[in-house]
Chains A and B, each alone.
Chain A
Amino acid sequence: MLARARVGLRSPVVVSVGLGFALSFLVGGVLIALVGQNPAEALRVGFEGAVTTKRGLGNSLVFATPRLLVGLGACVAIRSGVFNLGGEGQLQMGAVGAALVAVLMGPMVAPLHLLLALVAAAMFGGIWAGVAALLQVQRGASVLITTLLMNFVAIFFVQYLVQGPFQGETAAYNSSERIHASAELPVILPGTRLHLGFALAVAAVVFTVVLLHRTTLGTEFRAAGFNPRAALFSGLSPRRLVISSMFISGALGGLAGAGEILGVQYRLLQGFSANIGFEGLAVAFLAGLSPVATLVVAILFGALQSGVLQLQHELGIPVSIALIMEGLPIVCLAAARGLSLLRGGGMGSG
């Protein structure tokens, strides 16, 4: 199963992810040359868009935020032995919850309105994931399948809302009315788009680490994740653990959705996510399901996204190159895992 990655700079996971990113830059460079641009120039523009300018750095962190939150959710669920592939759907439902509160309620005192919107997002995401958990516990329907399918239900539900009952009268595109200013996530770095959501996501890293290692619930999560039968024998209730880990995981996904609505788009709109939920899952896997590593990988992904957008903006280089560049580290990691499995390595048995 998913053994937790050994931490350390020379661990196979870190090496393969590092090689993967190197490879992705190499392939990215070749592709950029193929579309007729100078790779060195592209590298400079890309770095400006992602790292070396204040605005670019802010953008990178904005892109990192939802991927980090969904990734943390994946860490919680999968380390509890529950394969929550529904990050995208939970994000979408969280966005709905946040938007409903932010548009329909208020205006009211700012921190209160924001807080209510965030709570609603967490609840929507958590309950959406909780439904899948209940289906598994009560009816034996695998979470792996239900969460995957419920993603599409959530995506189409958002479409229905913004084309139907929740469509804004002033909205040009399929989107809701603008949210009240009192529910916005304020910008925390002037001159950038970086909003409070990023700080919340970093706090969520701490929350996840504390949850998994400093609470009874998290210890039980990990026990059930490693060996559900032994957990059962020692008197834990795997059913309860499935439901609670899925709720927390979904709530984190829901907050990712809230961040996009309250900090980036300021409306609920069709297609706002562009597969952020799935990328978040990939981020968590690349990070070996460690919350701290998830932070690092999410920022790398955010920077890549931000840099490539800059390339498109300035040099007209297609965004699909970004997808290729994001995919390569994942392929490398998978290859490294497969290789170590073939060699019978990884877990030494004594």
Chain B
Amino acid sequence: MLSQLTVAILNGIVWGLIMALIALGLNMIFGLLHIINMAHGALYMLGAVVAWYLIEYIGSFWIALIVAPLLVGFIGLVIERGLIRTIEDKPITTIICTFGIMLVIQHLVLIVFGGSPRRISPPIAYRLPIFDLQYPSIRIVIALISIAMMIGLWLFLRKTKYGLWMRAVVQDREMAVGLGIPVNKVYMWTFVLGSALAAFSGILAAPIVSVEFMMGREVLIMAFIIVIVGGMGNLEGSVLAAIMISLIQGVGALFVPPSIATVFALAFMIIVLLLRPQGLFGE
């Protein structure tokens, strides 16, 4: 039991960190552009699929981890410049538009990649002994990479010019325009960064889950929930909420069927939405 609990907690933290990255991308786009990106799950899936092809032809997981997010980030650039920019000020319209983009991405992948799930084998095969169980060490590595990514993101937002601009636009868009910040460009790069983050998390998740064209659908909803619970626009809140929810789901699944654990988590979300629409960690 103790070893099972340890593994459940470890899995909860690893998955929570991956979810945190996905939610961060979603939340950055929301905080800045005020749009709900329904295609975010599809971009996460696209990251994993592109990585699968890269690994197939180049053979290195680590190269794929860097190249695939760049490619998906470029797709994000095309989506933002080509489609979303014209309707950025209408939140409901962007939901519908990104829903359409989600359908297109998912089904292009279905045509090219096929419908059956495929696996990306972990680049590190070593298994860590935990009590009487063997824990795949790649998961620890994935967790560490996620943490490094978050620290990098934090430094980017705090220490660079673009990060400062992004925070300024979130605080007061009008004032930012007045001060000469190229808001339009900040929007673009935020969307690109959010898309690349989604793809990056997709590749990190790939050795744990299987790669298939629908893998983003449920993740999208979980990411929404995390963003709400953590507070829309509140990035630190997203990280906390992601780890909290994944731990509750992971550990809860030891005692009740996983689907029941999810239903309770969702019912909890409804209560949070109704009583604290600004999120658990918002002011």
Does A associate with B in a complex?
Answer: no
